Amino acid sequence: MLPSFVRDAYNWSWPVVHSRYVNWYALSSLEIRQDWKTADYLGTYCGGIVASRSRHGHLQPLPWPWMNGRIHKRRRRYIEEHDRNAKRPQNLHRTVIGGVATHRQCQPYAHSDHEYDCMTNHDTDTLVSAGWVETHLEEFQADDPAYRLLEVNNPTVTADSEYTPYEEGHIPGATFFDWDADLSDSTTRDLLDKAAFERLNAEAGITEDSTIVLYGGGRVPNWFALFAYWEYKYYGHEDVRVIDGGKPYWVANEYPLTTDEPEFEAQEYNARGPFESIRAYQSDVEQAIDSGVPLVDVRSPAEFTGEVIAPEGLQETAQRGGHIPGAKNVPTTSVLNDDGTFKDADELRALYEDVGITEDQSVITYCRVGERSSIEWYVLAELLGFEDVENYDGSWTEWGNRIRAPIETGSAD
């Protein structure tokens, strides 16, 4: 039986019931936990209640008649691909009952001076506000691996940017991952392989069922954190989220920082995938050029035209400047507000429509080595709901170093 607040929510909120992604698995015969902060099967979501898979029970298929929102094709394909070999139903879709109980989760702690709610400008649970994170600091610092917070950066890149190093202050409960040393294989110049990815997470006290929240800094907020988000999705992690505005927003708005580094007990982590449907390789880009699939170059205009090869001080670079033939330039900075948070969906959609890119198309994003392009992969795939988006992580460092690879210089047509 569902808790009374869920039944009440349904009874009085029928006119505003909506679901962006239909949840095929409804709550059934669960071990009910009334504490909102520890209820794993039911959480609040910046404007509503989110039904999700229980860690303590089993979710049975139950086609509730009022869950009649549209099924996003990309998400449907995503859950089918992820669940093909799963031992139990995986809830990759979230059903949101709008306008219910936001006060339960969005209130600041008593010691906090912040006046906020947990809303972001986007209808997705993959993007959370700084306020939402502050209300969950106890969970992020607990031994229970249900919630884990990760600061992801590349110190060699962020040293000359407005960035507070991890050791000088980080969000309480956050573990530090170095994009280059921890999330990449320096020998193969590739992502971690599956075994190494599992080992990294297990040692950090993370399980495949953990809710992971990522944040970071860089020359743009969340520069490397969103690459980590994309890598987690590549290995099939279900519940990954990002703090809107990243570390710069957290620091600028005087949210709490600590120098204490957490020590969590090691866990077992079982990755899925890899899921190649979100990753593009050199051959995919060649086919895209031939077939007219849109390419989004997210680098600066100076890099795009070939005036410079890479931002000053970065190690990975190419022999030639320019861009992949036919690519459109949508610089990463253009998708962010002045405070580092994401622009709203209408503004973002207009940026891509201005260069002829719409959600009915397949899209490939690229940059220098795949980190900045993961930001716009996230924008297109998660914030705008494009059905088929791939990140070319080899990017210009691979393409610009290839002998006889076609390139263009100057501005786009």
CA pair distance 95, 2, nearest whole angstrom: 15
CA pair distance 90, 80, nearest whole angstrom: 10
Rounded to the nearest 5°, which phi and psi values hold at 246? 60, -160
Cis geometry, peptide bond prior to residue 274 (ω within 30 degrees of 0) = yes
CA pair distance 241, 140, nearest whole angstrom: 13
Please indicate whether residue 367 is annotated as part of the active site.
yes
CA pair distance 130, 112, nearest whole angstrom: 12
Sequence-distant (6+) residues with CB within 8 A of 88 are: 58
CA pair distance 183, 69, nearest whole angstrom: 37
> Which position among 46, 106, 118, 367 bears the catalytic label?
367
- Counting every residue written for the chain, the total comes to 413
For residues 245 and 221, the answer to whether their CB atoms sit within 8 Å is yes
Q: Are strands 190-191 and 295-297 parallel, antiparallel or unpaired?
A: unpaired
Residues involved in catalysis: 367
